[in-house]
Amino acid sequence: MAMGVMILLWSFVTIQMMITMVSAGDEAALLAFKAQVSGGGSLASWNSSSDFCSWEGVTCSRQTPKRAVALSLHRMALTGVLSPALGNLTSLQTLNLSFNGLRGNIPGSLGNLHLLQNLDLSDNQLQGSIPPGLGSMQSIQILQLARNNLSGMLPLSLNNLSSLETFDVGSNMLSGSIPVDIGNKFPHMEVLNLGANHFTGTIPSSLSNLSDLVVLILELNRFSGYVPPTLGRLGVLQELYLAENRLEANDEEGWEFITSLANCSA
Ligand SMILES: *[C@@H]1O[C@H](CO)[C@@H](O)[C@H](O)[C@H]1NC(C)=O
Ligand SMILES: *[C@@H]1O[C@H](CO)[C@@H](O)[C@H](O)[C@H]1NC(C)=O
Ligand SMILES: *[C@@H]1O[C@H](CO)[C@@H](O)[C@H](O)[C@H]1NC(C)=O
Ligand SMILES: *[C@@H]1O[C@H](CO)[C@@H](O)[C@H](O)[C@H]1NC(C)=O
Ligand SMILES: *[C@@H]1O[C@H](CO)[C@@H](O)[C@H](O)[C@H]1NC(C)=O
Ligand SMILES: *[C@@H]1O[C@H](CO)[C@@H](O)[C@H](O)[C@H]1NC(C)=O
């Protein structure tokens, strides 16, 4: 009997310790993030006198142990670099650090965020290439990296992100060509913005298979060749930007896409 009580008590203590460790993990990761950024005094509330769930920009789950499910510090005048410790916040569903002055690379550890649905790092000064690790963010629906200074090619691993609805890397310095099978990887894609980069090659005709596509922005790149006439199959397309490329349309075949677009409902 006494033994039973001891075991029960022991398991209770162990569970308590585990809970504390997991929460401490999120707190430590948030503090590691804070240590790499500065500006605006905006993270003054991030100190150990209060529970990390009450820190500005942090939203926690209601379950125990409490985990950070959202970190939103939009337009906070933050400068500095992104700590790889962000990848330890494995319950995050939203990470929104847009409109700040963050520099340096995007940590590949963000690929550990398997529950992340929303990643917005747009309007910063991030550089380097998009880490292949991001291809493991298996729940991601909105991926916004626009208006940074990212370079290099799109990693092939991004083809894994079959839940994507918005992929926006507009206004960076990305290069290389669009994978020919892009249109067969993202059945839910609604917004695809590759505009204002250094992309080359032809516009893949597979794009016409993205049947949910509403906005397609390819302008201000170095795309060449004909616009695929099959784009007219995009039945819900509302906005198409192709200007400032090296596209050809010097014969009837070249302009066929215009006729085919008449099939779009909007
Ligand atoms: C993040 O997780 C790694 C691996 O579990 C660990 O080594 C590291 O100390 C953690 N970092 C922070 C700041 O908690
Ligand atoms: C710690 O955060 C609390 C709010 O959570 C704030 O009132 C307090 O001034 C902060 N302390 C320091 C030393 O910044
Ligand atoms: C990030 O936050 C800003 C401000 O609230 C919002 O406009 C933007 O849509 C958010 N990004 C995402 C991906 O939700
Ligand atoms: C963007 O990155 C390039 C190198 O990749 C660098 O030369 C340039 O200064 C950067 N621009 C800004 C605004 O950070
Ligand atoms: C993602 O794609 C890469 C290369 O395309 C592949 O090697 C990897 O196994 C995939 N990862 C996941 C988690 O599906
Ligand atoms: C579009 O999808 C269909 C059905 O999956 C496939 O047979 C076809 O090859 C695709 N078209 C392109 C251009 O990839």
Compute the distance between CA of residue 73 and CA of residue 153 in angstroms, rounded to an integer: 28
Ligand 6: atom nearest CA of 183 is: 14
| The pTM of the whole model exceeds 0.75 | yes
Please count the other Cβ atoms lying within 10 Å of the Cβ belonging to residue 133. Answer: 17
Q: Which two tokens stand for residue 27?
A: 């707190």
- Report the candidate in 152, 160, 153 with the shortest Cα–Cα distance to residue 134: 160
The CATH class for the domain spanning 2-261 reads: alpha beta
Cα of 51 to ligand 2 centre, how many Å?
11
Digitized pLDDT (tens) for each residue of the chain, 266 residues in all: 455 555 555 555 454 444 444 556 999 999 999 999 998 577 888 988 899 999 999 999 988 889 999 999 999 999 999 999 999 999 999 999 999 999 999 999 999 999 999 999 999 999 999 999 999 999 999 999 999 999 999 999 999 999 999 999 999 999 999 999 999 999 999 999 999 999 999 999 999 999 999 999 999 999 998 888 888 889 899 999 887 787 776 666 656 666 666 665 54
Give the nearest ligand 6 atom to 228 CA.
13
Q: How far is CA 156 from CA 18, 36, 138, in A?
A: 37, 30, 14
Q: How far apart are CA 80 and CA 36, in angstroms?
A: 6
Residues 6+ apart with CB under 8 A from 101: 39, 77, 78, 79, 124, 125
Which residue has the CA at smallest separation from atom 7 of ligand 4? Answer: 149
Residue 235: name the closest of 261, 256, 258, 217 by CA: 261
Q: Compute how many other C-beta atoms are within 10 angstroms of the C-beta atom of residue 35.
A: 12
